[in-house]
């Protein structure tokens, strides 16, 4: 990069920083003054007003640019919820990394891979704090929400930050990705609610799909069981406090707030409800401990010999010894040597 190009880049970054600081200051002022007495709602159109681009330099190994639409959050205050819609240009590559707090990701556009798992619209992921994942690859304009119950600065890259992981006491790495499938309406019900399988634990983690007939009403699940709740409009519209909210409008409901009233607009409503587990959530995906299962010491992925590794076309009943030495963790790309027998 020559000096002129570097100067332009720095200028652009400082403009983005100032823009972002002003936006977050206004949002923080609003959050402080509203007194947390009602749910916070941001529409796609409002988030688009603050959209900013990150171009990619020729020597950047991320290979392509990205846009970010800020919904909620403040880098100045870790205690407010944080939500963005990230749009990655085709070909963008983000290396393996982790965060210090729990997060959901909800894919709403394009296609890509997270680790070696294909993702497409309405894949929902929960990734616990201190669980490495990736790389994240956009094959065709991957767009996904990042939802956190609190704000956090940046991410830590792996394996450079592995010493930080090693210092975390009582770490319980956990991540799970499942498609959210909305139930069909039945003749005898205006509202149908289902739980997304496996995205749940005994500490309040749960994800619900709700399909509602036009003009029908219900209430969202109780937010007090967990550490915060998001409601994401997928299709139709949500009527709330005299306003009508279109697809990709996002509502945050704190654990102290009452259950969110849900009223569908004239074309019905499909809404995704995501509940964060309380801070001390420690559960992991159930698996049969035994001499034929091997667990990634970094991210918690379990290689079960009986299952093989479908992501890599490794057939069922492939023993650990027969697994190629170059095979790596499908969730975090750790080498085979970082696995231990899961007993």
Nearest approach, Cβ of residue 334 and Zn ion (Å): 4
Write out the DSSP string of 218-252: EEPPPGGGSS-EEEEEEEEEEEETTEEE-TT-EEE
Chain length of the chain: 343
Report the alpha-carbon distance of residue 255 to residue 160 in Å, rounded. 35
> For strand 136-148 and strand 93-94, is the pairing parallel, antiparallel, or unpaired?
antiparallel
Give the interface segment with Zn ion, choosing from 107-115, 164-172, 177-185, 324-332 (CB under 5 A): 324-332
The residue from 143, 227, 262, 332 that contacts Zn ion (CB under 5 A) is 332
Cβ neighbourhood burial of 324 (10 Å; 0-12, 13-18, 19+): exposed
The residue among 51 and 166 lying less far from Zn ion, judged by its C-beta, is: 166
Query: Which CB, 51 or 160, lies closer to Zn ion?
Result: 160
In the DSSP assignment, the letter for residue 182 is P
Q: How far is the CB of 285 from Zn ion (least distance, A)?
A: 12
For residue 135, cis peptide bond before it (omega within 30 degrees of 0): yes
Please tell me the count of residues contacting Zn ion according to CB under 5 A.
Answer: 8
Q: Which of 115, 329, 339, 342 binds Zn ion (CB under 5 A)?
A: 329
Among 296, 302, 314, 342, interactor with Zn ion by CB under 5 A: 296
The reply to whether 271 sits near Zn ion by the rule CB under 5 A is: no
237 contact partners, CB below 8 Å, separation of at least 6: 244, 245, 246, 247, 264, 265, 266, 267, 269
| Shortest Å distance, C-beta 338 to Zn ion | 7
Q: Any idea what DSSP says for residue 329?
A: -
Is 331 a binding residue for Zn ion by CB under 5 A? The answer is yes
144 in contact with Zn ion (CB under 5 A)? no
Q: Considering only the stretches 215-223, 273-281, 292-300, 312-320, report the one whose residues sit in contact with Zn ion under the rule CB under 5 A.
A: 292-300
Residues 301-320, one symbol each (x = binds Zn ion by CB under 5 A, - = not), give x-------------------
Residue 334 as a binder of Zn ion (CB under 5 A): the answer is yes
**Backbone phi, then psi, for 108, in 5-degree steps?**
-125, 0
Binding site for Zn ion (CB under 5 A): 296, 298-299, 301, 329, 331-332, 334
């Amino acid at each position: 990069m020559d000096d002129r190009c570097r100067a332009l880049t720095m200028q652009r970054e400082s403009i983005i920083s100032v823009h972002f600081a002003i936006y977050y200051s206004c949002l923080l002022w609003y959050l402080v003054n509203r007194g947390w007495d009602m749910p916070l709602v941001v529409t796609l159109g409002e988030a688009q007003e603050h959209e900013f681009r990150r171009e990619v330099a020729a020597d950047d190994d991320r290979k392509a640019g990205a846009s970010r639409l800020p919904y909620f959050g403040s880098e100045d205050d870790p205690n407010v919820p944080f939500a963005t819609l990230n749009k990655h240009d085709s070909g963008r590559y983000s290396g393996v990394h982790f965060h210090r707090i729990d997060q959901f990701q909800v894919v709403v556009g394009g296609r890509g891979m997270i680790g070696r798992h294909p993702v497409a619209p309405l894949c929902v992921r929960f990734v616990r704090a201190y669980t490495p994942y990736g790389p994240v690859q956009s094959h065709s304009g991957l767009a996904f929400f990042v939802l956190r119950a609190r704000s956090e600065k940046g991410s830590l890259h792996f394996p450079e930050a592995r010493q930080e992981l090693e210092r975390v006491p009582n770490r319980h790495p956990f991540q799970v990705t499942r498609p959210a499938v909305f139930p069909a309406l039945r003749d005898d019900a205006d509202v149908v609610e289902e739980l997304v399988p496996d995205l749940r634990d005994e500490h309040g983690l749960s994800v619900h799909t709700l399909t509602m007939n036009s003009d029908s009403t219900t209430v969202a699940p109780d937010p007090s069981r967990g550490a915060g709740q998001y409601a994401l409009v997928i299709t139709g519209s949500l009527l709330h406090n005299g306003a009508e909210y279109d697809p990709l409008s996002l509502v945050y409901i704190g654990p102290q707030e009452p259950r969110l009233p849900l009223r569908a607009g004239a074309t019905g409503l499909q809404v995704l409800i995501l509940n964060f587990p309380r801070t001390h959530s420690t559960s992991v995906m159930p698996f049969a401990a035994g001499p034929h299962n091997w667990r990634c010491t970094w991210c918690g992925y379990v290689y079960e010999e009986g299952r093989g590794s479908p992501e890599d076309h490794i057939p069922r009943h492939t023993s650990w010894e027969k697994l190629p030495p170059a095979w790596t963790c499908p969730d975090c790309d750790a080498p085979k040597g970082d696995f231990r027998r899961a007993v």
